[in-house]
């Protein structure tokens, strides 16, 4: 017997699935298997971390780096702050709630200028 594909009409309470009935040799009655119509059962990737790099002017020493870290670290989503004084860069790592606008505002609040990229 050839497989019979029966579209799910709600009677089986299996949304977006197909039911295949097929009689196997040596067995009594049909074998019923249910399989999804969806092409991929792999979950979508979720953003778990972000890294943001901002150019900053006005920094000249370790105190400048400490002042920026003090303002940026308490922000929601921030996990790590690295300040490269000679290069004039602040790199912030954090979770999906990290917002660039908040980081920029915190740097300005610390007394430094964010250079437009």
CATH label of the domain that carries residue 68: 3.30.70.100
Q: Do 23 and 65 have their domain in common? A: no
Give how many domains the chain has, as a whole number: 2
For 89-103, the pLDDT digits (tens) are 999 999 988 999 999
Q: Do 17 and 55 have their domain in common? A: no
46 band by pLDDT with thresholds 50, 70 and 90: low
Q: Domain for residue 27, yes or no?
A: yes
3-class DSSP string for the chain = CCCEEEECCCCCCCCCEEEEEEECCCCCCEEEEEEECCCCCCCCCCCCCEEEEEEEECCCCHHHHHHHHHHHCCCCCEEEEEEECCCCEEEEEECCCCCHHHHHHHHHHCCCEEECC
Q: Do 18 and 63 have their domain in common? A: no
**78: domain range?**
50-115
Q: Do 105 and 71 have their domain in common? A: yes
Largest CA distance in the chain: 84
- Gap between the Cα atoms of 14 and 8, Å rounded: 7
For 2-38, the pLDDT digits (tens) are 444 444 444 444 444 444 455 555 555 555 555 545 5
Q: Domain for residue 43, yes or no?
A: no
Q: Do 85 and 58 have their domain in common? A: yes
């Amino acid at each position: 017997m050839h497989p019979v594909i029966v579209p799910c009409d709600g009677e089986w309470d299996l949304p977006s699935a197909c039911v295949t009935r097929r009689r196997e040799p040596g067995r009594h009655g049909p074998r019923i298997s249910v399989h999804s119509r969806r092409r991929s059962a792999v979950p979508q990737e979720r953003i778990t971390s972000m890294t943001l790099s901002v150019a900053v002017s006005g920094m000249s020493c370790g105190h400048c780096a400490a002042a920026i870290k003090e303002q940026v670290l308490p922000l929601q989503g921030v996990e790590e702050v690295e300040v490269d004084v000679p290069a004039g860069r602040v790199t912030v790592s954090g979770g999906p709630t990290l917002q660039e606008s908040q980081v920029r505002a915190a740097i300005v609040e610390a007394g430094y200028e964010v250079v437009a990229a």
